[in-house]
């Protein structure tokens, strides 16, 4: 990957970790995500009108937009439930551990070929991601949580992981067909439509108003960040292998850990230091030799 693409993915990872941090602080996660979708639809509308007036969406891109929107509907729902029932320190690494899986599927369905150094970089990133889930002195207990599939937070984390793999492969195919910002905006509208019945079957309008009033600034910022973050990824996918892009983006986990230490006064600890070093080293190897 070129230095420019690496920087764009690092920026995406930082923005992604930031809005995830806002989401975790919200009272109701699914409601938070739903309001964010409404806000971003309004905020980005003038820009989308301008983009589409100059670059209309090709008909062959429409199936990818619809597919990504439907997959993201499941993604947002499962991520919201995972954050509601699980701890951030376990939910986030599992949900973002796609680099360990995507290379297999990208080889099978996209014909991607990785270099040996690229594979080593991905392995280091994946080890760093999972290392975060092992609390000190609770190795067996953490393994039981991760692979026991008994806790709701863990189950929804794995569902989120499956959706990440699915939409990553889909979006790689779409990256060369449509403008990145327009693509993310359009599939987010599909996702918004898909989540609306779920919201009004499970939530009350008073809850939406309450969340909006309680978290207005965070919701507004997230409305900008969600589309920006993933549009950067779509752009880089056009010029690089999806396996590398999704791996480098895991730098967001390092940012997430730093946010926890700085703002939530969490203990950084040797485990988190080693994990952060492994992820960073893996990213460097991918950037230089991938």
Contact 22, 221 (CB under 8 A): yes
Q: Is 269 left (phi over 0), alpha (psi -120 to 50) or beta?
A: left
pLDDT at 36 over 80: yes
Q: Which domain holds residue 198?
A: 3-289
Q: What DSSP character marks residue 61?
A: G
pLDDT at 264 over 70: no
Q: What's the pLDDT tens digit per position in 225-245?
A: 999 999 999 999 999 999 899
Q: Provide CB contacts within 8 A for 183, sequence distance 6+.
A: 61, 64, 65, 68, 171, 174, 175, 231, 234
Mean pLDDT confidence for 271-282: 83
Between 204 and 243, where is the model more confident?
A: 243
Checking if the pLDDT of 136 tops 60, the result is no
- DSSP letter at 95 equals H
Per-residue confidence band for 257, with pLDDT thresholds at 50, 70 and 90: confident
Instruction: Give 96's DSSP letter.
Output: T
Q: Give the integer Cα–Cα distance in Å for 125 and 121.
A: 6
138 pLDDT band, cuts 50/70/90, is low
Q: What's the whole-number mean pLDDT along residues 122-128?
A: 87
Mean pLDDT to the nearest integer, 199-213 = 77
**pLDDT tens sequence across 164-189:** 999 999 999 999 999 999 999 999 99
Candidates 285, 250, 242; CA nearest to 103 is 242
What number is the average pLDDT over the span 35-56? 94
Query: Which carries the bigger pLDDT value, residue 17 or residue 149?
Result: 17
Name the average pLDDT for the chain.
85
Residue 8 to residue 237: CA distance in whole angstroms: 11
Q: What is the C-alpha to C-alpha distance for residues 119 and 113, in angstroms, rounded to an integer?
A: 10
Percent of the chain with pLDDT over 70: 89
For range 117-135, the mean pLDDT: 81
pLDDT for residue 203: 65
Looking at residues 12-25, what average pLDDT do you find?
A: 85
**Tokens standing for residue 173:** 């195919």
Regarding predicted confidence, which is higher, 23 or 264? 23
pLDDT at 74: 93
Q: pTM value?
A: 0.84
- Total of domains in the chain: 1
Q: How many angstroms separate the Cα of 173 from the Cα of each of 60, 63, 273?
A: 11, 11, 36
pLDDT band at 263 (very low <50, low <70, confident <90, very high): confident
Using alpha carbons, list the distances in angstroms from residue 185 to 33, 68, 69, 78. 15, 11, 10, 20
Confidence of residue 143 (pLDDT cuts 50, 70, 90): low
Residue 266: the pLDDT is 66
The confidence score (pLDDT) of residue 88 equals 65
Distance of CA 271 to the CA centre of its chain: 23
Residue scoring higher pLDDT (175 or 93): 175
Given this model, what pLDDT does residue 37 score?
92
Q: Rounded distance, CA 144 to CA 267, Å? A: 23
Helix (H, G, I), strand (E, B) or coil at 53: helix
């Amino acid at each position: 990957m070129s230095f420019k693409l690496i920087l764009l993915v690092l920026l995406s990872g930082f923005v992604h970790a930031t809005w995830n941090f806002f989401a975790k602080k919200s009272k109701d996660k699914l409601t938070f995500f739903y309001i964010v979708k409404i806000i971003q639809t309004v905020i980005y509308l003038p820009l989308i009108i301008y983009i589409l007036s100059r670059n209309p969406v090709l008909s062959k891109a429409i199936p990818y937009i619809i597919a990504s929107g439907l997959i993201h509907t499941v993604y947002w729902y499962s991520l919201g439930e995972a954050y509601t029932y699980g701890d951030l320190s376990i939910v986030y690494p599992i949900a973002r551990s796609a680099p360990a899986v995507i290379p297999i599927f990208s080889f099978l369905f996209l014909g991607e070929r990785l270099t040996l150094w690229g594979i080593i970089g991905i392995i280091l990133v994946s080890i760093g991601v999972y290392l975060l889930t092992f609390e000190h002195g609770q190795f067996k207990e953490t393994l039981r949580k991760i692979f026991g599939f008994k806790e709701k937070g863990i189950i929804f984390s794995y569902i989120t992981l499956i959706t990440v793999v699915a939409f990553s492969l889909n979006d790689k195919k779409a990256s060369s067909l449509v403008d990145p910002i327009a693509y993310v905006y359009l599939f987010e509208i599909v996702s918004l439509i898909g989540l609306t019945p779920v919201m009004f079957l499970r939530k009350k309008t008073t809850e939406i108003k309450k969340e909006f009033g309680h978290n207005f600034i965070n919701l507004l910022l997230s409305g900008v960040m969600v589309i920006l973050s993933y549009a950067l990824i779509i752009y880089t996918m056009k010029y690089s292998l999806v396996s590398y892009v999704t791996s480098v983006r895991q730098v967001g986990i390092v940012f997430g850990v730093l946010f926890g230490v700085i703002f939530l006064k969490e203990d950084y600890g040797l485990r988190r230091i080693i994990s952060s070093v492994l992820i960073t080293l893996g990213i460097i190897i991918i950037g230089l030799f991938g």
